Structure 1
Amino acid sequence: MKYSDDITLLKGVGQKKAELLGKMNISKIGDLINLYPRTYQDRRTVTPVSDAVSKDNVLVKAHVIQVVKSGYRPGGKRPLNVIVDDGTARMEVVFFNAKFMQNAFKQGEEYYFYGKATKDYGKVKMVHPEFTPSDKGVFQGIIPVYPLTAGITQNDIRKWQKEAFSCMECAEEFLPEEIIRKNNLCSYSYALKNIHFPDDVTKLKEARYRLVFDEMLLLQTGLFALKETKSGKGRGIYFDRDVDPLKFINSLPYELTNAQKRVVKEIMDDMESPDVMTRLVQGDVGSGKTAIAEIAMYKASECGCQAVLMAPTEILAKQHFEGVKRDFEPFGINVGFLSSSVKTQERRELLSRLESGEIDVLIGTHAVIQPDVIFKNLGLVITDEQHRFGVNQRNLLGSKGKNPDTLVMTATPIPRTLAVILYGDLDISIIDELPPGRQKIVTKVADSKKRPLVYDFLRKEIEKGRQAYIVAPLIEDSEAVSDLRSAESLYEELSKKFKEFNVALLHGEMKQAEKDDIMNEYARGNIKILVSTVVIEVGINVPNATVMILENAERFGLAQMHQLRGRVGRGEHKSYCILITDARSEVSKERAEIMVNTDSGFVIAEKDLELRGPGEFFGTRQHGLPDMKLANLVKHIDMLELVKEEAKRILEEDPSLSDSKYDKFRERMNDMFGGELTLRM
């Protein structure tokens, strides 16, 4: 049995089970082997029934004395009572509504039972425990607990893992011997055996260390290889040092913060250097990234080059266009706008003016990367909200010029250590200061029972002349998630409750013209309450908006909630963010506390990364960052530094990984990155 063999080779995996496993992204033996336990149950010690009552789950080994099939109880629960004895005491094992289990127990045979034992009227009782005959299955020891889907049980996965391990071809070593020896790692087969079925805690730790090391090394080597082939370093455009942007800076209606001034200097130094600029600018919500982008575009234009700014949504691109056009008008800089909604004739004229050099600055959506978009002399590429664009889109845009300078702007703060890893080919600037007068947004949490109070507060704000956003996780009601509020149902409810005010609905499936009309009316103050999906997450600027209400707040990521909260608090008035949630889990409570107590995007991003994992935080496909099974980019940051040096050494020694000792390693790395890597020869 090999890594690449079909999962149906395992006993008990027919078409139906294979389809269920497919929902868990398991189609090959290797997929199953790489389904690591999410936690473990310590069943190493068998507890006598006489000592079984405890606040924790216990493992009991006892003989079945009697099986009692009871009649129906009120509520329709039909209990099955199994009386067992281990020689120290008797215990009653109870299963409700378990008609199918009536023949599962045989009198006189011995079974393991794992669950919580309680005392009820002097009797030891265990309700719905896991169980198995004592001579079958994987039941005693440190037992793995796997993520599941409906129709697949823990015992199914444990049994199939055991069968897969019966053939150790699945655990073929792929790291060169010197790397294993140098880093004091256990073998791959040892690691797999002990991550799934550890003999003891020490072996589990050794296994986990090896597998985390593997994931980190494959990730880091792959990212270095990507950056080696896609990096833009080299001879670039030399922007004239004598062209000073001070004239434009002085025309702005506000003074730059010290952080903005520092970042502008870093960008100017890059642009005036003969090397290509590839710089990431991170700034929290409202820190003034747009002004920095404008200053860079002004410099490029005044030096005779064109600039392009690509935004992730049409609403944001249009907002950028209007602001940049207004600011550049006094300087005679021509600004064009391009998106998929631009009409054919208008688009043809725009592209002609762009190719002739008549347009100095182009602002648009991903439409700007289309093949027929040709620049006369592209010198500066800016992508806004980079986390929404793939690496390929960034490179496509850069290929439209001859080594243009590149600025990547993001309002999703990434801890610096991670940014260095993820954007190894980019220098990093951080705007760590907000403009003066930017007020702290008051954040509160409320459950659905307090909605009337929330609406009373909302009414008072609207009566003061303010505006509000209400954001829902869904566009329309869904049977699959009936507990979630939809934007459409909220709009209907609020239109009736606030009928004296103008309430509008906005979501991503509307036509662009309709969305633009709604946002323009909201920006003018004609719409007082805007009910929306997360389409308003990025960049929209309405200074009069002071209330942000997030429905089913537990459905949003922390960084996403911070972005949405940043839509208010942009003017002189005190602003509020209200999180409505009925979720009671510990993670939900922790997330709510972070939002209430923290207004730093960098702190929130790090917490979000810890809670959700890197794949979900960054968006695996958008970033090209593979999702990892065990490694956590925050918790394992020390190992990441160690592995970074190892990855550098590997590629310095063998840039193409052509040595036969790297054959299996290269295969694994390509699998991790979807087979996309082109290594330098």
Structure 2
Amino acid sequence: MLAALATPLQYCKGIGPKLGERLGEKGLLSVEDVLYFLPLRYEDRSSIKKIKDLVPGVNQTVCAKVLAAGETRYGRRKVFEAAIGEAGEFVSAKWVNYRLSYMKARLKLGQAVMLHGPVTRFGYQLEMIHPDVEIVDDGEAGQPSVGLSAVMPVYSQIENFHQKTARKIVRSVVEEYAHKSVGGLPDDVIKRHRLMDIGAAFCALHLPTAVPVADSSAKKSLVFDELFVMELGLAMRRAQLKREDGIAHTGHGGRLTRLEEALRGLLPFKLTAAQEKALAEIKQDMAVPHPMNRLIQGDVGSGKTIVAFMAVLRTIESGCQAAIMAPTEILAEQHYLTIHRYADGLGIKTALITGSMKKAARIEALSAVNSGSVDLIIGTHALIQKGVDFARLGLVIIDEQHRFGVAQRAALRTKGADNVRKGASPDVLIMTATPIPRTLCMSVFGDLDVSIIDELPPGRIPVETHIIKERDRVRAYELLRAELESGNQCYIVYPLVEESKELSLKDATSMSEHLQRDVFAEFKVGLLHGRMKASEKEGVMREFKAKKIDVLVSTTVIEVGVDVPSATAMLIEHAERFGLAQLHQLRGRVGRGGKRSVCLLLAAWTPSEDTFRRLKVIEESQDGFRIAEEDLKIRGPGSFMSTQQAGAPDFRTSFALADLTILKKARDEALKYIAHNPALQGLEGERIKKVLKARWEGRLALAEIG
């Protein structure tokens, strides 16, 4: 049954290779992907209103034809307006944020459309501002035709696909495969919480006979099933780690002693109370003969690196080597330069290993690592490649966990600790600058112990943050120009790499050309985005750091950390599209050099009050943990974690964390089950084991499954 869910879509009835490839671009590769491709909302076509019956102030659905459509102006603002009507009545639909070619192609004269959204009244005229639009084919207009339910699921847009096509594909897959789905819940848990079979839940959500309520039994059942299996995996992983052999770092046995005391004498500042607390927790873990697995959460600039370096000192005092792995070469170099100046004064030998090293330098560095003459090795994924062998690896520090896969982390753990003691694993310390609300940490990072540095060193200059509107764009450019003319640099961040047929948003590629040609012609504008090769990205960042680029146009790839002290201004386009935590991370790229810095949040018009409430939090606060908590309150845990911060598990159901009470219940049930059946034995245990293996084995490194 589980094998059937892994069937590639191209082999499903009515799909084939070409259609399968197009669906794959949306992330729909297998039968299981489609089953979990749940509707965004539902349209109850039995309650479609006639235009004359529309009531202002209420979300409603209307179906009619396009009588007229085009771009018009209201004062200085351009608006795309369409008259949608029937039998002498019409409603005016308006869009402020749009792409003209897309709207013209979609809203052709005479085209039947379905609009869904809030109805308002402007003078005597009924209006719908930014309504959802669905193109309606003749067979679907008005009352549903034979074979169609009165309740229509509406799916996330797949480029160039009408909703009718998406519905037809999903219906076909659900009808053939939903009953073959295998859930991971024990029978008594299903009964105790009144849950549905997973196959029945898929049918209820994709093929409903009535509009499912927000907390429907079907949704709850899918969420409970997913969270239970995840929490089971985390509990097994944690138990597995606690049983592993590790290295007790006592601070004796190495060639160097009293390193921490010496370092404190060199530092021009004292550690904050939060740093001292995190350090004490790390030392406690390192003293026992089992591997440490700890996550340090700290805001941008909170001093995580120096705490991690003190853990390195304890390792070296105990006669072992330490490794720091960063996601990019430029970040590895940054760590090397930060740490090197203190390491030299303490007599610690360091080495930097990256993929772009010259052959002779690489051979020399690898030989030193293998012989044990180097104490601290800093590098990128090059550290886990063949030929990199440590003499006595005792500690692995990973910067920004979510930039590495589980397999990469596991590979570094298996290198060299065996030479300290047969079968031993090194300690692992993970650093992340992404604050996660405390309420989520225990459940989503259940296999890690967590230390929090929630205090910034005194004297840091806060980054001035301002929300600005589209009409103030020229003023924003003038502010950036003033910074550039003062010899500083700036970032301009966009949500997209290139123009999208689906979304009417400005994109980094075309805007970088426009900015260079029309706005900042006398300055050098560079472009950075995630689709570039790693070497290209590194090259652009090096040029920016060397001040060969003045304005860096980028997507969110700059979210994680390079320090450019002369970058003092940032403009974030379509700030309404980003989560608060992500905006806070982006803002952290400026203000790194002690100069006054500014971050401008350019937000397009939106009818959502939540959007501006969220942006106001960023404007008023510099505290990453407060921002994370506010983000959690406003968007809910599901949306908050959707950015996959700090290596959080990725969920199949987008609303998996929408209700923290379900998360707690699922966790409690998983811990109870693993306590009485730790090996997952028996028919039920075997079924759960197979589901756990299929869903989470690769992502949780569960060596004991199977």
Equivalent position of 1:637 in the other structure:
660
2:618 to 575, 586, 595: 595
Structure 2 CA distance for aligned equivalents of residues 125 and 528 of structure 1: 45
Does the aligned pair in 2 maintain the 1:80–1:96 contact within 8 Å? no
- Identify which range, 342-351 or 352-361, moves more after superposition: 352-361
SS at match of 1:330: helix
Equivalent position of 2:491 in the other structure:
470
- Identify which range, 2-11 or 153-162, moves more after superposition: 2-11
Aligned: 1:324 with 2:339: yes
Equivalent position of 1:214 in the other structure:
225
Structure 2 CA distance for aligned equivalents of residues 259 and 608 of structure 1: 23
Name structure 2 gaps, 5 residues minimum: 72-80, 93-105, 418-424
SS at match of 2:216: helix
SS at match of 2:295: strand
1:437 to 446, 453, 459: 459
- Identify which range, 204-213 or 454-463, moves more after superposition: 454-463
Does the aligned pair in 1 maintain the 2:480–2:490 contact within 8 Å? no
- Identify which range, 438-447 or 652-661, moves more after superposition: 652-661
C-alpha change, 1:45 and 1:518, in structure 2 (3 Å) is closer
SS at match of 1:245: helix
SS at match of 2:446: coil
Structure 1 CA distance for aligned equivalents of residues 49 and 542 of structure 2: 69
The C-alpha deviation readout for 1:202-241, integer Å capped at 9, x for no partner, is 7972222222211211222233344555667544233227
The C-alpha deviation readout for 1:263-287, integer Å capped at 9, x for no partner, is 1222222223333222111100010
Does the aligned pair in 1 maintain the 2:31–2:173 contact within 8 Å? yes
Normalising by structure 2, report the TM-score.
0.77
- Identify which range, 51-60 or 308-317, moves more after superposition: 51-60
Structure 2 CA distance for aligned equivalents of residues 537 and 394 of structure 1: 21
Kindly tell me the number of residue pairs found equivalent between the two proteins: 648
Does the aligned pair in 2 maintain the 1:211–1:630 contact within 8 Å? no
Equivalent position of 1:505 in the other structure:
526
Equivalent position of 1:394 in the other structure:
409
C-alpha change, 1:485 and 1:541, in structure 2 (3 Å) is closer
Equivalent position of 1:87 in the other structure:
none
C-alpha change, 1:339 and 1:498, in structure 2 (3 Å) is same
Aligned: 1:521 with 2:532: no
C-alpha change, 1:294 and 1:235, in structure 2 (3 Å) is closer
Shift, 1:121, TM fit: 14
The C-alpha deviation readout for 1:537-579, integer Å capped at 9, x for no partner, is 3333344543223345456554333222112223443321112
Equivalent position of 1:368 in the other structure:
383
Equivalent position of 1:279 in the other structure:
294
C-alpha change, 1:152 and 1:367, in structure 2 (3 Å) is same
Structure 2 CA distance for aligned equivalents of residues 495 and 234 of structure 1: 60
SS at match of 2:316: helix
Amino acid at match of 1:492: Q
SS at match of 1:617: coil
Structure 1 CA distance for aligned equivalents of residues 157 and 491 of structure 2: 35
SS at match of 1:628: coil
Structure 2 CA distance for aligned equivalents of residues 13 and 217 of structure 1: 33
Structure 2 CA distance for aligned equivalents of residues 474 and 113 of structure 1: 27
- Identify which range, 273-282 or 195-204, moves more after superposition: 195-204
Equivalent position of 1:425 in the other structure:
447
Equivalent position of 2:326 in the other structure:
311
Aligned: 1:628 with 2:652: yes
Amino acid at match of 1:389: F
Shift, 1:340, TM fit: 0.6
C-alpha change, 1:204 and 1:461, in structure 2 (3 Å) is closer
SS at match of 2:643: helix
Shift, 1:23, TM fit: 4.4
Does the aligned pair in 2 maintain the 1:233–1:278 contact within 8 Å? no
C-alpha change, 1:630 and 1:333, in structure 2 (3 Å) is closer
Aligned: 1:290 with 2:305: yes
SS at match of 1:627: coil
SS at match of 1:342: coil
Shift, 1:292, TM fit: 0.9
Equivalent position of 1:107 in the other structure:
none
Shift, 1:447, TM fit: 4.0
Equivalent position of 1:254 in the other structure:
269
2:639 to 575, 591, 613: 613
Equivalent position of 2:285 in the other structure:
270
Q: What percentage of aligned pairs have identical amino acids?
A: 33
Amino acid at match of 1:469: C
Does the aligned pair in 2 maintain the 1:53–1:119 contact within 8 Å? no
Does the aligned pair in 1 maintain the 2:495–2:577 contact within 8 Å? no
Equivalent position of 2:42 in the other structure:
40
Aligned: 1:416 with 2:438: yes
1:236 to 247, 250, 255: 247
Amino acid at match of 1:359: V
Shift, 1:317, TM fit: 0.9
Structure 2 CA distance for aligned equivalents of residues 665 and 217 of structure 1: 10
SS at match of 1:309: strand
The C-alpha deviation readout for 1:278-304, integer Å capped at 9, x for no partner, is 211110001011111221222222332
* 1:50-449 equivalences in 2 (<5 Å): 51=53, 56=58, 97=108, 131-133=141-143, 136-140=146-150, 142-158=151-167, 169-170=179-180, 175-196=185-206, 197-199=208-210, 205-228=216-239, 233-240=244-251, 243=258, 245-402=260-417, 403-449=425-471
The C-alpha deviation readout for 1:427-460, integer Å capped at 9, x for no partner, is 2110010000112211113345433322333344
| Higher-Rg member (1/2) | 1
- Identify which range, 489-498 or 4-13, moves more after superposition: 4-13
C-alpha change, 1:198 and 1:24, in structure 2 (3 Å) is farther
C-alpha change, 1:99 and 1:221, in structure 2 (3 Å) is same
Equivalent position of 2:683 in the other structure:
660
C-alpha change, 1:470 and 1:276, in structure 2 (3 Å) is same
Structure 2 CA distance for aligned equivalents of residues 52 and 307 of structure 1: 68
Shift, 1:33, TM fit: 3.6
- Identify which range, 581-590 or 299-308, moves more after superposition: 581-590
State the superposition RMSD in angstroms: 4.6
Does the aligned pair in 1 maintain the 2:54–2:119 contact within 8 Å? yes
Name structure 1 gaps, 5 residues minimum: 62-66, 84-89, 105-111
C-alpha change, 1:662 and 1:154, in structure 2 (3 Å) is farther
Aligned: 1:540 with 2:562: yes
Structure 2 CA distance for aligned equivalents of residues 73 and 471 of structure 1: 34
Structure 1 CA distance for aligned equivalents of residues 214 and 66 of structure 2: 44
Amino acid at match of 1:618: Q
